[in-house]
Amino acid sequence: MNKSVDFSQPQRQSLPGILVMFANSLQKTVRALWPMLLIWLVKFDTLNKLVFFGSVAGVVVLIGIISYLQYLFFTFHIDEENGEFVIQKGVLNKTRITIQLHKIQQVNINQSLIQRLVGVHKLEIDTAGSDKKEASISAISHELATILKERLINHSQSELTENAEKNVEEITPTSFIKIGLPSLIKIGFTSNYIKSFALIFLFFTTIVENLQQLNAEVIDEDQVTNYLDTLPIYTSIFIVIGFFITLILLVNLVRTILKYFDFTIQKSKQAIILSYGLLSTKNTLLNPNKVQKIKVTQNYFQKKLDVTTIGIHQASSDAEKVKEKDQIEVPGCAEIERDAILKLLLGQLPQKGTMYLPNWRKLAVNTFFFLLVPIAITLFLNHKTEFVTWNDWFMYTAIFSVFAGVMLWFSFKNYKLFVSNDFIIKQNGAWDIDTTIIEPYKIQAIETQQFFWQKATNIGSVTLSTAGGTVSFTTGNYTEIKQLVNYWLYEVETWEKNWM
């Protein structure tokens, strides 16, 4: 690698970057003008062809010139003296963005489809401050991007941990974990059903709506209904359900593979680099110190197939709307890989320690709200409107009761809290079982809560806030909870370790 790149001199982006800017500007223009374009297209025959193509060509040329000027005026460099990274840009309105090197938290290298076609990358700099003034370089060669990233990160790291061990390890990042296609296929088949279902539902409703508006008879509804009517009722139900299940699985699979293709985790010096994506490659840098909360999710199928999903929640500068990139997901790790990742992030494998269980009243309360109340509501509504026959109502209610009962029972059975010296682990979920892991010294605030009617039975809840989200344990033994709170406070207040 060419390490002698001089970043102290203002640099331009790589030349093919003009194309990227051109495409971006074009996209913006089309997006801004699309109603006009649509009208033009509809009235295409009546338009003067010369004027039409002339104006289109004019706009394109204009955008081209603007893109070139943007390219010309966009420079970046590292100001070693002041320890700043400087970006200057703007054709008419000059903008100068300076970022203090020690404030840089993350440097991401991403690649969109256009950038991939042209062969350039996008470099984004994430600072601890407001997210508005984030700096990005939209076209830079991969080689240059990696060198710049190293340079920026090293600066911020070396200032942060001056007295920490300075043993410079291998410069080339060592490949650590690679998630192959089989794991992704397994995950694609076993997770996110609800998300995909919602997507498909949205997609279909939009299409149907549009079709109705256009009065197009692409699919003859009657024909489909007639065909289904000729079949026995159960067969037709099976066909419809089967169709949807296949569709959901397919969408799931495609989404997972597109998003996470070639998922690689690399370890370099103090940071962890994640890169993934088929059409647009994402490259994220992860700092183990910034990790606040880890969530391991696995359901029954995934357990059998030995795959899990790990969600990593980092401290976010704006906890109100947690930024997408502060929540990283590692899909489809096998058990060994999961342990390796946990070890990498936490320094050791989390031990479960003492187990705490919720009171049986949790099951009772949940049963009341999620089983009895819905049944009562449908009973009342059906009594008023006679929407379905009572036989049907009994059948549906029975199915619902069994389903909800099983879910409630498992969600109660899986609800556990494990506390050891170094970890707090909470497990919950009926089908997808989430295991949330936090370290006590990363707690920001503790809240205990008790309803007045819970005093007699000595039940209460606790919520632990971290900079990456909260963890709460409800309907537990309040004496035990108070004891735990005292212990956690002791840990937070005596440990010298910095939470970030």
* Contact set with another protein (CB under 8 A): 315, 319-320, 443-452, 463, 465-467, 470, 482-483, 485-487, 489-490, 492-493, 499-500
Give the residue with the Cβ less far from another protein, 211 or 492.
492
User: CA–CA separation, 337 vs 307, rounded Å?
Assistant: 9
Pull the structure tokens for residue 327: 């929540």
Q: How far is the CB of 454 from another protein (least distance, A)?
A: 9
CB of 447: closest distance to another protein in angstroms? 5
Nearer to another protein, 199 or 500 (CB): 500
Smallest distance from the beta carbon of 443 to another protein, in angstroms? 7
CB 476 within 8 A of CB 443: no
Please tell me the distance from the alpha carbon of residue 112 to that of residue 114, in angstroms, as a whole number: 6
Q: Which of 101, 102, 98, 105 is nearest to 467 (CA)?
A: 105
- Specify the residue, 170 or 493, whose C-beta has the smaller distance to another protein: 493
Find where tokens 């700092």 sit. 287
Q: Which is nearer to another protein, 21 or 467 (CB)?
A: 467
Burial class of 145 by CB neighbour count within 10 A (0 to 12, 13 to 18, 19+): buried
Q: Least separation, in Å, of the C-beta of 320 and another protein?
A: 6
Query: Between 365 and 371, whose beta carbon lies closer to another protein?
Result: 365
| CB of 47 or CB of 445, closer to another protein | 445
Could you tell me the two tokens for 159? 């200032």
The nearest distance, CB 460 to another protein, in angstroms, is 9
Q: Which of 179, 177, 175, 176 is nearest to 332 (CA)?
A: 179
Q: List the structure tokens of 111.
A: 């690649």
Structure-block tokens of residue 162 = 């001056």
Judging by DSSP bridges, how do beta strands 121-127 and 174-179 pair with one another? unpaired
Structure-token pair, residue 302: 């995934």
341 and 177 Cβ atoms separated by less than 8 Å: yes
Q: How far is the CB of 423 from another protein (least distance, A)?
A: 16
Question: Alpha-carbon distance 350 to 353, whole Å?
Answer: 9
**Least separation, in Å, of the C-beta of 494 and another protein?**
8
Q: Which is nearer to another protein, 234 or 453 (CB)?
A: 453
For residues 363 and 409, give the distance between their C-alpha atoms in angstroms, rounded to a whole number: 7
Long-range contact pairs involving 216-224 (C-beta distance under 8 Å, separation at least 24): none
Supply the minimum distance, in Å, between the C-beta of residue 452 and another protein. 6
Smaller CB separation from another protein, 89 or 295: 295
Q: Which of 294, 330, 297, 325 is nearest to 312 (CA)?
A: 294
Choose between 234 and 452: whose C-beta lies nearer to another protein. 452
Alpha-helical regions (H) of 306-416 = 335-346, 360-367, 373-385, 390-413
Q: Write down the least CB distance from residue 363 to another protein, Å.
A: 20
Scanning the structure block, which residue is given the tokens 């996209």? 27
Do 433 and 417 form a contact (C-beta atoms < 8 A)?
A: no
CB nearer another protein, residue 249 or residue 492:
492
Give the nearest distance from C-beta 203 to another protein in angstroms.
34
